[in-house]
Amino acid sequence: MSATQSDLMQRFELDLPVVQGPFGGGLSTVQLAATVSDRGGLGSFGAHARAPETIATLTRELAAATSRRFALNLWISDHDPGGERLDAAEFDRAWRVFEPFYRELGVERPEPPTRFHPSYDAQVEALLEARPPVFSFVFGVPSSTVIQACRQRDILTVGTATSVAEAEALDAAGVDAIVATGAEAGGHRVSWLERAEDALMGTFALVQLVADRVRAPVIAAGGIADARGVRAALALGAQAAQIGTAFLACAESGTTDAHRAILFGPEAHRTRLTRAFTGRLARGVRNRWIETFEARQHELPPFPVTAWFVSNLRAAAQAAGDTGLVSLWCGQIAPNLRHRHAAELMQALHDGL
Ligand SMILES: Cc1cc2nc3c(=O)[nH]c(=O)nc-3n(C[C@H](O)[C@H](O)[C@H](O)COP(=O)(O)O)c2cc1C
């Protein structure tokens, strides 16, 4: 490994150039993040859906579970235009889009909430107070006040780019590392300078373009699941690789056994980018929900309203054993997954690097 590669590893105190990608929406666990950090990678916890009041306790739980560094992850933009507040008529229109599925699963019409998504401003305030070792984020750049506050508190910052322009914006803001994420990745396409549909570069090209243009060390994400993939990322100019889907498939993640079985099965060959589950573009295994909304994306309310209506159905769909109506987030590399426990995946990465 070159001197600059070990720079990032030294700064983040890593033994392996591996970051466990954060998962939002309740799919991260303290156990998964701690298992990865304990074995020399950077474990992460996706906290975008958490109430700000829970962030201090969560940070304490992570700090108690591992003596190594870990990252807490937030979404900087907490709504799309028109998605912050709905009047009664707008709520009714949104309800009618999802009503047939609520009926099918026997779920009552929900009352409009005070907020459809927690406030990022309140979350980041709580994060600064809680002082996790690393703050990673998507869907934007934090204000210079927040970046400065992180520096003062020894919180390392990691931003995420889906294009060269986003990487340059993060670099100009002075972040400590930049995740360059290709469209192969599972979960959301976290673009903020362009529509996600217009920023679909693959990991191979994006990592090279970004690494040549920014000062901050680059972490490659999207389509990496084993040591061969990590080595390829390092050869392209990244100093570490962020692995998501392969950790999501492990028993320690917060997902369901039904989702894990699909990640290891033949359906994982058929992933799709869709706005149907949250209102924002994301990659998951093609299923009935995605197919239903394929030609009806224009009917979907903006993020986070769609995400809120869909999340109210999740428990009933899971109880009915129906994987057709829930999000099955999955990256394109899933058909190559081999490990069912995070410690085994970390051992295989260690042995292969
Ligand atoms: C279910 C799921 C949820 C995710 N949620 C987040 C998130 O909240 N914040 C984030 O920075 N990245 C999130 N990601 C992206 C991952 O952290 C990681 O960058 C990505 O999965 C890497 O690509 P791969 O899936 O090909 O390994 C998510 C990915 C998945 C699969």
- Residue located via tokens 């994306």: 297
At residue 47, the pLDDT reads: 98
Residue 21 CA to ligand 1 center (angstroms) comes to 5
pLDDT in tens, 224-271: 999 999 999 999 999 999 999 999 999 999 999 999 999 999 999 999
pLDDT in tens, 166-176: 999 999 999 99
Residue 330: alpha-carbon gap to chain centroid: 11
Helices (H), ranges, the chain: 3-11, 30-38, 55-65, 88-105, 120-130, 144-152, 164-173, 203-211, 227-235, 245-248, 257-263, 288-293, 305-319, 342-352
pLDDT in tens, 286-326: 999 999 999 999 999 999 999 999 999 999 999 999 999 99
Separation CA 23–CA 327 (nearest Å) = 13
Q: What is the mean pLDDT of residues 16-45?
A: 97
Q: What is the mean pLDDT of residues 4-17?
A: 87
Residue 248 CA to ligand 1 center (angstroms) comes to 9
pTM: 0.97
Contact predicate 215/202, CB 8 Å: no
Which of 1-5, 153-157, 274-278, 326-330 bottoms out in mean pLDDT, i.e. has the lowest? 1-5
146 has a pLDDT exceeding 90: yes
Separation CA 34–CA 342 (nearest Å) = 10
Greatest Cα pair distance in the chain: 59
278 has a pLDDT exceeding 60: yes
Residue 53: alpha-carbon gap to chain centroid: 21
Q: What is the dihedral of CA 310, 117, 262, 42, to 10 degrees?
A: 180
Separation CA 213–CA 228 (nearest Å) = 25
Here the tokens at position 308 are: 């809120």
Q: What is the mean pLDDT of residues 202-219?
A: 98
pLDDT in tens, 111-122: 999 999 999 999
What b-and-e string marks burial along 111-135, b requiring 16 or more CB atoms within 10 Å of the CB? ebeeebbbebeebbebbbebebbbb
Does ligand 1 come within 6 angstroms of the Cβ of 226? no
Q: What is the dihedral of CA 54, 56, 62, 68, to 10 degrees?
A: 150
Helix axes 305-319, 88-105, angle to 10 degrees: 20
Separation CA 193–CA 170 (nearest Å) = 11
Separation CA 105–CA 102 (nearest Å) = 5
Phi-psi region of 169 (alpha: psi -120 to 50; beta: other; left: phi over 0): alpha
Instruction: Categorize the per-residue pLDDT at 1 as very low, low, confident or very high, splitting at 50, 70 and 90.
Output: very low
At residue 3, the pLDDT reads: 41
Does ligand 1 come within 6 angstroms of the Cβ of 187? yes
Q: Whose CA is nearest to atom 5 of ligand 1?
A: 23
Q: What is the mean pLDDT of residues 30-52?
A: 98
Q: What is the dihedral of CA 280, 283, 285, 290, to 10 degrees?
A: 30
Minimal CA–CA distance to 243: which of 171, 343, 333? 333
Does ligand 1 come within 6 angstroms of the Cβ of 71? no
Which mutation among 78, 170, 188 tests ligand 1's pocket best, with the greatest number of atoms within 8 A of CB? 188
Does ligand 1 come within 6 angstroms of the Cβ of 278? no
Does ligand 1 come within 6 angstroms of the Cβ of 163? no
Residue 212 CA to ligand 1 center (angstroms) comes to 24
Which mutation among 18, 19, 20, 23 tests ligand 1's pocket best, with the greatest number of atoms within 8 A of CB? 23
Q: Whose CA is nearest to atom 17 of ligand 1?
A: 21
Q: Whose CA is nearest to atom 12 of ligand 1?
A: 22
